[in-house]
Amino acid sequence: MFGFKWQKTINVVCQMNLVMPRWNPLPKLVSTFWRTVSGGVSAAIKCAVCYFIQDLSSGGFPLLDAVVDRWLKALRECLASADSNVQQSAISAVTALIGEYFRHQPVEKLTALLNHFLPGVTSNNQQARVGNALTLGSMPRFLLTVSLPKVIQQLCTCALITDKTLQWAESRKNALTALSLVCTTVGIAPSSPGGVDQVTLAGIFRTFIDGFEDYTVDSRGDIGAIVRESAMYSIQVLTNTSQPDLLEADLIRSVLHAVAKQSTEQIRRNRLLAPNVFLLSSTVIPPFLTLSSRKNCVPSFHRLRWTFRPRRNVSICG
C-alpha cells in the first residue's frame, strides 16, 4: 500500500512539473531517491522510483550528467535484486535512461558505460547475471556496436553450464534470450553494416544448440526445461533474421536434430513448440545445396513424424 501511495506521489510530481515548468523538484528528489533505492526499502517503492526514472527519460526531461550517473549506479544495484518486479522495472528504466541521455556521447564514454554492465553477466551472483543479461539484450544499437564481440562473448559465457553455475538455469535462459535480442537489434551482416558476422552467428547458433542439452534437475524438477525452451525461441527469432547462405549445412543439420529431439520431450510446452521451430528452421536450408545435401540436413524425420502429426483419441501428457 505504501509503495502505491509513493507511486501516486511521483506521478503528481511529474504532472506538477508539466504544469509549472519553472518549478524543478529534482535537486531535492535526487538525494531522496538515491537513499530510497540504495536503502533497505520495500520492493514496491524501488519499482516506483524506477518508473519515475523511466518516465523522465522517455519524456526527455533535462538532467545533469551527475544525476544520470548517480541514478544509473542505483539502477545497477536494482538489477541484482532478488525481486523479479524490481529487476524488470530497473531494466526498463536503464534502457530508457541510456537511450535518451547517452545517444550522442563519445565512444570513450559509451565504452566505459558498457563496461559497467558486462562484468555482471558473468558475476558470482546469480541475480546479477539474470538482471544484467536481459539488460544487455535491451540495450540500444548505438551502445551494443561499441563492443559487440565482447557483449556476445560475455552472454555466451553466461549461457554455459559450469560446476558452480549448474543450478542457475534462469541466468542461462536469460543469456540465450539476450543473444537473440542483440542479434535482432544490431542486425546480421552484410545486410546490416556493423552487425553480427557469419563466424559470430555460427558461434551463437552453437550456443543455442548447447542449450538443448541442459537437463539440469533440482528439487523443483527439470529446471533445464526453461533453458531448452529459450533456445528454441531464440533459434526461431534468428532464423527470421538470418540469410540462408550465411549458415553452413552442418550447422543447419545440428539445429534440426536438436529441435527434432525436443518433439519427444515430456515437458508439454517444449514438445508443442518444437514442430513450429523445426518447420521454420528447415526453411533456411541454402537453396544452392544439392538434393542429397539437402536430405542430409534433415534428420531421420520418419521416426519422429508421429509427434508432428495431430492424432485423435491420444492423450498427450506433460
Concatenate the DSSP letters of all residues of 46-86 into one string. HHHHHHHHHHHHHTT----HHHHHHHHHHHHHHHT-S-HHH
At 25, the pLDDT band (50, 70, 90 cuts) reads low
- The residues near 277 (Cβ < 8 Å, ≥ 6 apart) are 232, 233, 235, 236, 259, 262
The whole-number pLDDT of residue 12 equals 45
Q: Tens of pLDDT along 64-82?
A: 888 899 889 889 989 999 8
Q: Bigger pLDDT: 124 or 251? A: 124
At 9, the pLDDT band (50, 70, 90 cuts) reads very low
Eight-class DSSP state of 246: G
At position 71, the amino acid (one-letter code) is W
Residue 313 has pLDDT above 60, yes or no: no
Retrieve residue 182's grid coordinates: 542483440
Q: Bigger pLDDT: 212 or 295? A: 212
Nearest to 65 by CA among 105, 114, 94, 13: 105
- The residues near 85 (Cβ < 8 Å, ≥ 6 apart) are 43, 47
Residue 107 has pLDDT above 90, yes or no: yes
The whole-number pLDDT of residue 112 equals 95
Taking residues 295-318, what's their average pLDDT? 43
Q: Tens of pLDDT along 228-281?
A: 999 999 998 888 777 767 778 788 888 888 888 888 888 888 888 888 888 777
Taking residues 171-198, what's their average pLDDT? 90
What is the average pLDDT score of the chain?
80
Please, are residues 16 and 32 in contact by the beta-carbon 8 Å criterion? no
The whole-number pLDDT of residue 265 equals 84
